[in-house]
Chain A
Amino acid sequence: MSSATAFLARRLFSVRGMRSSQRVMFLVAVVGMTLAVATLFVALSLARGFEHAYRQSLLGFHAHVVLLAQGEVSDATSMLAALPERVHGLTEATPFLYREGLFIGKGSIKGVVLKGIDLQDPSWRERFRVSGNSKGEGVILGKAVFPGVDVGETVKLLIPKQHAGQSPFLDLAVAGTFSSGLYDSDSQFALIDLEQLRKLFGDPSDVITGIELFLDDPERAQSVAVSLEEWLPPTLRPVTWQELNAELFEAIRLEKTVLAIIMGMLVLVAALNIIAVVTVVIHARTREMAILSTLGISRRQRMKLLMRLGFTPGLWGTLLGLSLGIVVAFLLTRTSIIPIDPEVYLLDRLLLDLSPLLCGIIGVFSLGVTCLVAAVASQKLVSLPIIEGLRQAR
């Protein structure tokens, strides 16, 4: 059955056999589909790239599961010792302390969260991409707290709560800077040794904000949190990174959805050109269709023939669009043609996540839309008047 329609499509609807006006319409349909599919692909790759980058940076700087202290935690040390046994795949568990302070340096004042951790642990240097010497007393500033600050400079820290008689200003040496990849973290955090932080703020030596857990697989955070819930004392509450950043990821998810819908509409609009192509080409073939009707071509076969006609520009557009999208996305990641403002986007470079799965989904979607549009057009045009067609055929 298909051999008749394939044969006729080749003879009657080949691009080479089209009149120039029809060829232009065909071209417009292909170009439209190409651009729409490419845009959809680049836009979604970009959105996925951002999501991925946020995640990477977040998971680098922030823990996968945080055990938040609710009041006094007296037995933190024994708990830390027991954690590796309880938590499968635990790579790290560190107590931390958050304190807020105002930094004065480089002629400006910045409100900063001081994060006290065990800075003797060398793994932090890698995690936070610390530059400079972090050994000894001092503070490691986020690289965007005071841009351009040099290691060894001193900055002043204004502490809100102090002992009587103590100056509210403390001089701290900058031991280094860190870069987490997230502008938010880089501009609002400073790392400092846990013990030193407690001393500065006059805290007792066992006070912590919580314990940070890092896992080999961040996706297991939820199950780890659930399993720890019963075991932990009521003073420690496990919170996962997904919960901590729920709003951010919800926003990204929404952005991705909206983007997909709008760009998907673009593909649909581009596919509508196919109706024009099928209409124009088939009307120019009234004679041939009438002749084929006298030979007994069935409605189903005519439908197949029209579907083929409509599917061709969609197929070309989809293939070319995906290719173009991949090339553009590749260029965007490799070159910085489009500079982005880290203060706006939290990230300092454009990231695209080129996924074969995304490629496949967009391809299937685009071809599906093509089929749908081609089917609608074919349905409208499949019944051509035979007798009139024969009259034309002179």
Chain B
Amino acid sequence: MSLVHAHDIRKRYVDGPVPVEVLRSVSLTVEEGDIVGICGASGSGKSTLLHLLGGLDRATAGEVFFDGLPLSHRTDEELAHLRNRSIGFVFQFYHLLTECTALENVMLPCLIAGVNRGEATTRATEVLVEMGLSDRAGHHPALLSGGEQQRVAIARAIVMRPRLLLADEPTRNLDRATGESVWTLLTDLSERHRMTMVVVSHNRDLLRTLPRVLELKDGRLDAEAA
């Protein structure tokens, strides 16, 4: 069974001056352990699609299935639980809590899951070590470089060992070399932990390393025209 399956989803924003039909008919199947790249012009709806796949937002029509179960039937509380245990997000702007140290940021998903402080510290430390950030654990995000912040964000995304990792332009804010190392880190992690990943990127060079890349265009998702 596929881990993620989107069936003919549509997304319309009606809160602006004119309604915007961002996704017209998007269908997507991602098997467990797959890495799928998504590209597309700015404003084509890539972030919107990731939000829908991760249950952060609800589709106007169509259905997203996670592990065979439709998301639209789940309550907000169940979606929150799903995000906490089974889905990790990585964003372009890292989205770390500036008031918390790197270690505390990574501990957050564990604390939210109800894991006690001690256990959360152990798990977060382990993941930070895996990310090569053991000496940055006590630093606040403001003291970290962009690459380091993104690695903390990745650590936070995977600390609960989610089944699905959704990455929205994870390298866009980074210089070329750093971006490449973060990309490699992500794909290695995914392969090592057999973690399914959907990654959005503009960077064709990086996307080329992936076995499967789809392009979002005019509200539809197609195999990339190489």
Contact = CB atoms under 8 A, between A and B. Distances in A.
A92 interface: no
Contacts of B80: 293, 296-299
Nearest to B100: A11
Contacts of A87: none
B99 interface: yes
Interface string B92-117: 01011101100010001101111011
A386 B56 contact: yes
A296 B112 contact: yes
Nearest to A290: B95
B100 A295 contact: no
A295 B56 contact: no
Given A17-B99, A386-B56, A386-B57, A292 B93 contact: no
Interface residues of B, number: 31
Interface string A6-41: 011001100001000000000000000000000000
Pick from B80, B81, B83, B84 the residue with the most CB of A within 10 Å: B80
B91 interface: yes
A338 interface: no
A4 B80 CA distance: 15
A7 B120 CA distance: 12
Contact of B111 (A3, A288, A300, A390): A3
User: Size band of the A side of the interface?
Assistant: 20 to 34
Contact of B95 (A7, A12, A17, A390): A390
Contacts of B24: none
Interface centre among B108, B113, B114, B156 (most CB of A within 10 A): B108
Interface string B61-75: 000000000000000
Interface in B149-193: 156
Contacts, number: 77
A17 B57 CA distance: 30
A46 B117 CA distance: 49
A178 B88 CA distance: 86
Nearest to A10: B99
B5 interface: no
Contacts of B96: 291
B51 interface: yes
B109 A295 contact: yes
A4 B114 contact: yes
B197 to A, nearest CB: 16
Contacts of A291: 95-97
A242 interface: no
B57 A390 contact: no
A292 B34 CA distance: 27
A15 B97 CA distance: 17
Nearest to A296: B84
A3 B116 contact: yes
B122 to A, nearest CB: 15
Nearest to A291: B95
B113 A296 contact: yes
Interface string A47-91: 000000000000000000000000000000000000000000000
B135 interface: no
Contacts of A299: 76-77, 80
Contacts of A294: 54, 56, 83, 89, 95
Contacts of A12: 97, 99
A394 interface: yes
B78 to A, nearest CB: 10
A387 interface: yes
Interface in A118-134: none
A305 to B, nearest CB: 11
22 contacts: A4-B108, A7-B117, A11-B97, A12-B97, A292-B112, A293-B80, A294-B56, A294-B89, A295-B109, A295-B156, A297-B80, A297-B84, A298-B80, A298-B81, A298-B84, A300-B77, A301-B112, A386-B57, A387-B57, A390-B95, A393-B91, A394-B93
Q: Which 5 residue pairs of A and B lie closest in terms of their CB atoms, listed nearest first?
A: A296-B84, A296-B83, A4-B111, A11-B99, A298-B80
Given A4-B108, A296-B109, A387-B57, 15 more contacts: A3-B117, A11-B100, A12-B97, A291-B95, A291-B97, A293-B56, A293-B80, A295-B89, A296-B80, A296-B113, A298-B80, A298-B84, A298-B112, A386-B57, A387-B51
Interface of B: 51, 54, 56-57, 76-77, 80-85, 87, 89, 91, 93, 95-97, 99-100, 104, 108-109, 111-114, 116-117, 156
Interface of A: 1, 3-4, 7-8, 11-12, 17, 288, 291-301, 386-387, 390, 393-394
